[in-house]
Structure 1
């Protein structure tokens, strides 16, 4: 049987009056640190500026490896931009039309950029194959100079970001991107040295393909994460059955959990809705409050909507599928 929901004015909704629960009246976004936002913005400006310089340097020196490394710096720029956008949009208050705010724009931008990066990888790979059959001369001196400057810029950006809140999901993601680009810069330096000492030009397209694999990995990760968020899939590390079992084992007075759904609004913003049955003699408001506290502290779910099943007739999802 489908659970009965009491919608009278005194219906308890996660420990507060349902009639006064206004989603537009409070923010669901995580707290924004100005120091984090400033660190990401500085890193974004440095990385984006040198990405353009490296692209020009790759064109002038004839180095496809530098162009590929500029492409990988593009992934860093995208990651930093999305991190900054997340901080910036997170500071905007929700309104009556968009009760969850504007954070999902970050996800849409991530999806668009992931698709763009796939196109970039395809172009670099095609050019690399052409150059293996028809090698082109590369100016090792300018290539080496630009690659060394790229390494320095990446080290500076990594230093800036590592001094920010590295536990924040956006900062952590940006740090991983910069680490990947450090490897690309080291590879470009090695290729320039090899060309300078031996004149072996195929190392340039070979290295460009290797760097493209880094871009492909970043693009695939970005695509799968944004797609999962847009499909309202459970975030990484969240198993609904495990979550349900933990609630039943740790929350006093909780008899059953149903209609459990967990998803992400954007990166780092996990939401949940669930229905609970309360044991005989337990206080419903206290149980609901304990459930929300458990979700927040143990599972990092900052916003949960808890519905109480007053009928005790069992729980089943409206579509007829068993509740999680």
Structure 2
């Protein structure tokens, strides 16, 4: 299996650029018409689209930054810039959601007159723009937190356009002024939980948490299922960025074992079965390391606390079956 150690977001940079052009052009039109028509739902959606323009710009800049080569000072390169961009998008979305909900609450007390005809026209155009932008970004949102942040903003705009159309129809047919702040509040409520989820996942990556699609116990069990592996400890799995998973760990083997063959077999399992991109393993023989005064065992206190699994604790996998039927990693891994 080949691994390009690249950014998942980089594959979608051209789509991001198209979405940015569409969103930026429509945002200007919507803001002007919303101001002239005195429509909060249009102004709210334009404000949300302003964060889209900023978010898409951040995403593109982050992708460019992530492609810079690693240096002696930044040995993993700049991949994490994309995760920081996703977190920044989340902060922007929180601010916009709070403002929309505040304005909706204020206008419920004294709903202003809203011109429904321009509201309907601009919102209908916006719906087309947002559908096109969402279609451009939806595939990338499954691979990259950075792109997902941009997609969530566009999806919020799409809902805002639908809300504006619904509010315009109600205003045109019934004159009910509460429709505008009601649907604006709906946009804000829609954005919030998705924003929190995006931010949580970005923080998980920054804290080097285990990727959601992988189970550490399952990985450790597969490793001790490899021939001549006695135990596994000090095992860590984390995302460097979206789509780039790394693993490090210590493997205890018997003294007469061919260490090189064990490493080959372990790499085959970890890359083929779990689709891990970057594997770093330290092979140890417990008695020999203790004799040299260099043990790295859980009880020695010189390893990070982490899962330790001995071969006798796990049901050994059939090595030939693993080679014949490698597990396919889940799509959309983050």
Provide TM-score, normalisation by structure 1: 0.79
Residue in 1 aligned with 2:175?
A: 199
CA distance in 2, matches of 1:149, 1:265: 39
1:302 matched to 2:277? The reply is yes
CA distance in 1, matches of 2:198, 2:97: 14
Does the 8 Å CA contact 1:90/1:102 hold for their aligned counterparts?
A: yes
Sort the Cα spacing of 1:269 and 1:276 in 2 relative to 1 into closer, same or farther, 3 A. same
Residue in 2 aligned with 1:260?
A: 235
Sort the Cα spacing of 1:57 and 1:294 in 2 relative to 1 into closer, same or farther, 3 A. farther
CA shift, 1:204, in A, is 0.7
Cα RMSD, aligned residues only: 2.9
Which of 297, 317, 328 pairs up with 1:315?
A: 297
Does the 8 Å CA contact 1:72/1:214 hold for their aligned counterparts?
A: no
Unaligned stretches of 5+ residues in structure 2: 291-295, 309-334
Residue in 2 aligned with 1:291?
A: 266
Which of 108, 112, 117 pairs up with 1:132?
A: 108
Which of 225, 229, 237 pairs up with 2:201?
A: 225
CA shift, 1:168, in A, is 3.7
Give the number of aligned pairs.
296
CA distance in 2, matches of 1:93, 1:306: 24
CA shift, 1:118, in A, is 1.7
Higher relative contact order (CA 8 A, sep 6+): 1
Q: In the TM superposition, what whole-angstrom CA distance separates every residue of 1:53-105 from its partner, at most 9, and x where no partner exists?
A: 32333232222212332344356546644553454234221122211111212
Provide TM-score, normalisation by structure 2: 0.77
Does the 8 Å CA contact 1:111/1:223 hold for their aligned counterparts?
A: yes
CA shift, 1:176, in A, is 5.7
Which of 220, 223, 226 pairs up with 1:247?
A: 223
Q: Aligned runs of 1:266-281 on 2, under 5 Å? A: 266-279=241-254, 281=256
Unaligned stretches of 5+ residues in structure 1: 1-25
CA distance in 2, matches of 1:138, 1:212: 20
Residue in 2 aligned with 1:106?
A: 82
Sort the Cα spacing of 1:149 and 1:269 in 2 relative to 1 into closer, same or farther, 3 A. same
CA distance in 2, matches of 1:294, 1:79: 38
